[in-house]
Amino acid sequence: MKLGIVGLPNVGKSTLFNAITQAGAEAANYPFCTIEPNVGVVAVPDYRLDKLAQMYNPEKYTPAVIEFYDIAGLVKGASKGEGLGNKFLSHIREVEAIVHVVRCFEDANIVHVDGSVNPIRDIETINLELIFADMEVLEKRMDKTRKSARSGDRKAQEELEFMERIYKHLEEGKPSRTLDMNDEERELIKQYFLLTSKPVLYAANISEDELINGYEDNKYIKAVEEYAKNEGSEVIPICAKLEEEIASLDGNEKQAFLEDYGLEEPGLNRLIKASYKLLGLISFLTAGPKEVRAWTIKKGTKAPQAAGKIHSDMERGFIRAEVIPFETLINCGSEVSAKEKGLIKSEGKDYVMQDGDVVVFRFNV
């Protein structure tokens, strides 16, 4: 699953991406961390794996991972090919969701590309370029659909009406993800691959001072939060500069650094977890003396398909899933105790996996 990091020049996008790639380099248990200079693969922080590792003392520890892409810079006119516009748009089409970095701090030494700090203007600059690109895509698609609609094709007529409704919404300067749609329309819009239909998480880049002393009075964050609320998006305040420093430290140094700053965990952890959630992902867990591992699935996945994430044979020969919620297992203290209490449930093919399920799949091929 891929997330694209976007943002205007000098908002902290590159600094945040550097922090992500450095954090990825520390996930030594994972076979690869940085695929190429503009892609960072990082472990999804999960305290449940740590607890299971204490319980099973496994030979191997494998967290879920997520990919972040550093999307090429954008300028006004990108939708018409200005600057690196075409590259920007082609890269953003390849990701499932967007982390939009917006500058929410003042610093006379860091010049803003538009001369002043205004996160809403920055957000709208990028949104408008994506909207223009989507309008162009829809125009071409509507032209083709009109021919079928004129011939009396009822389905084509209904689809054309839907596309016209999307187009009008875009003309009003609103991303397609904020359009009121029913379930059928939500499935249909996926076929159009619109850039503005991708879910967005806003990373509000604040100063080091505000991270330590509080950012309650930061008018920029308040504005971004209000904007995000209107489109159902989340805002994660983060200090990209500090995160880059934290990511470069080893385990003991990192812990001491966090304690000095009065922080429970790196902001990057919150960003990664929020990004994972943004993609509609959950983790089920497998645990034993050989390996403790988190497996990534889409929310709503049924047991046989989850088994298939481990091996296709397990899906093909699925018999049942022996499932216990993580918290229940921890409260029991051991798998043996959980079995004695009858708390490990046997689930069939229609069972919908839940986040944090600890599972053993039974299969026969």
Question: Counting Cβ atoms within 10 Å, is residue 23 exposed (0-12), middle (13-18) or buried (19+)?
Answer: buried
CA distances from 172 to 115, 132, 179, 248 (A): 26, 11, 11, 44
292 annotated as belonging to a binding site for a ligand = no
Q: Distance between CA 15 and CA 9 in Å, rounded?
A: 11
Beta-carbon contacts of residue 62 (< 8 Å; ≥ 6 apart): 29, 30, 291, 292, 293, 294
Q: Do the Cβ atoms of 281 and 298 come closer than 8 Å?
A: yes
Provide the token pair at 85: 């516009």
Q: Is 286 annotated as a binding residue?
A: no
Ligand-binding annotation for 60, yes or no, is no
Residue whose C-alpha is closest to residue 79's, from 164, 169, 196, 185: 196
* Cα distance between residue 38 and residue 17, in whole Å: 9
73 labelled binding-site residue: no
11 is in an annotated binding site: yes
User: Strand 39-43 vs strand 65-70: parallel, antiparallel, or unpaired?
Assistant: antiparallel
- 218 among the known binding-site residues? no
Which residue do the tokens 């191997």 mark? 60
As annotated, the binding site for ATP includes: 10-15
Q: List, as residue ranges, the binding site.
A: 10-15
